[in-house]
Structure 1
C-alpha cells in the first residue's frame, strides 16, 4: 500500500468549510433550528421531494440543526476524512461522501416519517464508516485494513443501537448511508493496488443503482 499519510485531505477540508459556511448562513438567516430556515437551505421533507424538489436528496448533507449537531458532525468529518481521503484519493473520497449521502437520504425518503425534517451529514458519515468495512473485505490479507474495518463496523453497530434509543434520529438515513458507502467502497477499491474483479465492481454499482431507484419509486408512491 502506498504511503497514504503523505496525502493532504483537501476535499475533507473543503466539505467541512462548506458545511460550516452553510451553518453560519442558517444562523444569520433566522436560526439553525428554525423550520422555515431549514427548509430554505435545503433540508429534506418527503412531501417536498415528492413535489419534484429532488435536490433535497442532496442538500440535507450540508444542513445542520443546532450547534451540537454541527459540532459532532463537523468533528467526525474532519477526523474520519483525514484518514479515509488520503487512502482512497480525492475523487474516490468525494464520490463516497456524496453518493452515500444521497442513498441515505433516499432511504429516509422511502422509509422515514413523512412529516419529519431531515438534515445533517450523518448519512455521508455512515457511508464513510462503511467504506472502511468494504476495504477490509476487499483487502482482507492486509492486517491494518482488517483491524480498521472491524473498528468502524463496531462504530456503525453502536451508533445504530443508540439511534433506537433516541427520538428524532433518522435511523433509515443512517442505514441507507452505510449500505451506500459499503457498496461504493466495494466498487472503487484503493488506487494503485489490486482491486476487486471487474464483475464484483460492476455488480456493486448495479446493486446500488437498483436499490436507489427502488427507494425513490417507493417514496414517490407512498407520498404521492
Structure 2
C-alpha cells in the first residue's frame, strides 16, 4: 500500500474529537474552570495516586483556554498532514497515544503534585520526535534527514521557551518526546525492513520500562 496516497483520516478525527471536547468543556462551565477540567479528566498527581489512572490518558484531549486549543489544534493538523501519510494510520495513532501517555507519566513522576495538567502537547512532542527517529533510521534519505533536523530544532526551541514561561509542563513535553522517539524507532516506515527486529523490540521494551519506572516513581513520591 502506498501511504503517500492516503488521506490523514486519523489526524482529522483527532482534531475534530479534540475540538468537540473543548466545546463540551466550554458549555459545561468553561475551559479554564478547575472543576470542569477535573470533571473532563485533567491530570493532578494526587488523583492519579488515588487510583484514577485514566488521568494519564485523558489530558491529551483537554485544553485550557482558546489560545491553548488553537495552538495545539493547528499543530495537530500541520504535523499530522506530513507524518500520517508517511507512517500510516495505525502507526500514527500508536505514536500519538503512547507519546501522550509517556508525557503524562513524566509529568506525574517529576512534575508538581498540585498542578493541573492538560493538552495535546505531550503527544505533539512525540510526533516531533518521531520525525527525528525516522531521520536516524533512514539517515541516507535526505528528505527525512532534513525533516529530522527541523523537528529537532523545534523540540529544542520549545523546551527552551518552556524554561522561560510559567504554567508550562516541561516534564510532559520531555516525556512525550522520549516516548515518540522510541516508538518511532520501534515502528519505522511501513514496508521497509528497518530497523532490525532486535532494535524494534529493544525500543518498545524501553518504552515499557521507562513508563513503569515513571509510574512507580510518581506513586512513591506522591503516595
- Normalising by the residue count of structure 2, what TM-score does the alignment of the two structures yield? 0.99
Could you tell me which runs of 5 or more consecutive residues in structure 1 were left unpaired when the two chains were aligned.
Answer: none
User: In the comparison of the two structures, how many residue pairs are matched?
Assistant: 223
Could you tell me which runs of 5 or more consecutive residues in structure 2 were left unpaired when the two chains were aligned.
Answer: none
Deviation at 1:68, TM superposition (A): 0.1
Structure 1 runs, 4 residues or longer, greater than 4 Å off? none
Aligned to 1:220: 219
Aligned to 2:66: 67
| Residues 160-218 of structure 1: per-residue CA shift (max 9 Å, x gap) | 00000000000000000000000000000000123101111111011111100000000
In 2, the alpha carbon distance for the partners of 1:15 and 1:4 equals: 19
Q: Counterparts of 1:1-224 in structure 2 under 5 Å?
A: 4-224=3-223
Deviation at 1:4, TM superposition (A): 4.2
Look up the SS of the partner of 1:120 in the other structure.
coil
| Residues 99-123 of structure 1: per-residue CA shift (max 9 Å, x gap) | 0000000000000000000000000
In 1, the alpha carbon distance for the partners of 2:204 and 2:10 equals: 23
In 1, the alpha carbon distance for the partners of 2:153 and 2:88 equals: 24
In 2, the alpha carbon distance for the partners of 1:205 and 1:79 equals: 27
- When structure 1 is superposed on structure 2, of 192-201 and 89-98 the one drifting more is 192-201
Deviation at 1:5, TM superposition (A): 3.6
Give the aligned CA root-mean-square deviation in angstroms: 0.8
In 2, the alpha carbon distance for the partners of 1:128 and 1:178 equals: 8
In 1, the alpha carbon distance for the partners of 2:138 and 2:17 equals: 33
